[in-house]
Structure 1
């Protein structure tokens, strides 16, 4: 694992919960560190996850355009479900919802745990807005995580004027998703989860 990865993880671990629709890059200097992470001489699958990790770090830094650029690499573009998932999240965060749904995989290894955690989170909340409550219950009561439905819920709430309640609830569900996907991507790329590197 390259030494800069530990430093990047340490910085990203300190950032607050990410908004579902960021307006600015969180730490512009961090972009240069992320894009300069060297790829190993591993096989194509290993290198694909390393590229996906660079894209993930940039997206986690709310540097959506640069994250998108990384994910256009021939090794990951439309070939790696994890990179495609990050691609979908990037488009969701920038507000290109139809494109986001295209890239979100219908099944990913994190989805079982994501559904469990999102279900527990929603169940523990007192949600004032009845329509929002119903849509979030529909999301978490399904038999499998539906990334495309989550895109629709974010879209509807953003386009109808994101209330403080919706902004908090959606950002916290998104945070569960991002942390699980970041752990998975790190483990595939460098052999340790984001959480393990940060601790």
Structure 2
């Protein structure tokens, strides 16, 4: 099991292109089958395993399958975080914010805030092509001032509008992917599996 899980996790984490803000279909159908076939045995009912399954499916852009696991563990901070991410990706923004609030002071939130700042410093120049709605917030994220899951929902909402700047959308997709990977790594570790 450990080898199979590590192989699936590596393929999901090494995805070249980040998931769309709101995926329209599963990223990799073959991987979807492999995730479904994971046999957890007695561990299958553990909260952390359900969180791991929610994460595996969400990293594969399988929103419905992710939801089926996240809703079983809403009482858990990590489960609530996965639940919030899934709702954000399906464009249920208000519900997303609710679940992020339920996740409380989850340790991943601080890691994501720092990671977002670092990524923006290393990968974004904010030239003329990145002007427009959302850039002010991205600059605040870069300066490690403003990132929260709730403010990120607002930024994503603004980028869902027709005519959104493609350069900004691309940056936001990378940041969402960073957040997904950070929560996934946390969940893997909590389940006793290293990355």
TM superposition score category, shorter chain reference:
0.7 to 0.9
Q: CA deviation at 1:79?
A: 1.1
* Cα shift at 1:107: 1.9
Residues 1:120 and 1:103: Cα distance change in structure 2 (over 3 Å): same
Instruction: Give 1:188-199 correspondences, 5 Å limit.
Output: 188-192=190-194, 196=195
- TM-score w.r.t. the length of structure 2 is 0.85
Q: Quick check: 52-61 or 23-32, which moved more?
A: 23-32
- Confirm or deny: 8 A CA contact 2:71 2:79 kept in the other structure: no
Match of 1:4 in 2: 4
Q: Normalized against structure 1, the TM-score is what?
A: 0.83
Partner Cα separation in structure 2 for residue 10 and residue 93 of structure 1 = 22
Equivalents in 2 of 1:118, 1:67: separation in Å? 24
Unaligned runs of 5+ in 1: none
Q: Which moved more, 1:103-112 or 1:131-140?
A: 131-140
Alignment partner, residue 175 of structure 2: 173
Q: Cα gap change, 1:40/1:187 in structure 2, threshold over 3 Å: closer, same or farther?
A: farther
Q: Please identify, of 123-132 and 52-61, the stretch whose mean Cα deviation from structure 2 is larger.
A: 123-132
Report the CA distance shift for 1:130/1:164 in structure 2 as closer, same or farther (over 3 A): closer
| 1:61 is aligned to 2:60 | yes
**Native 8 Å contact 1:25 1:61 kept in 2:** yes
- Supply the distance in 2 between the matched residues of 1:92 and 1:33 (Cα, whole angstroms): 25
Distance 1:50 1:69, change over 3 A: same
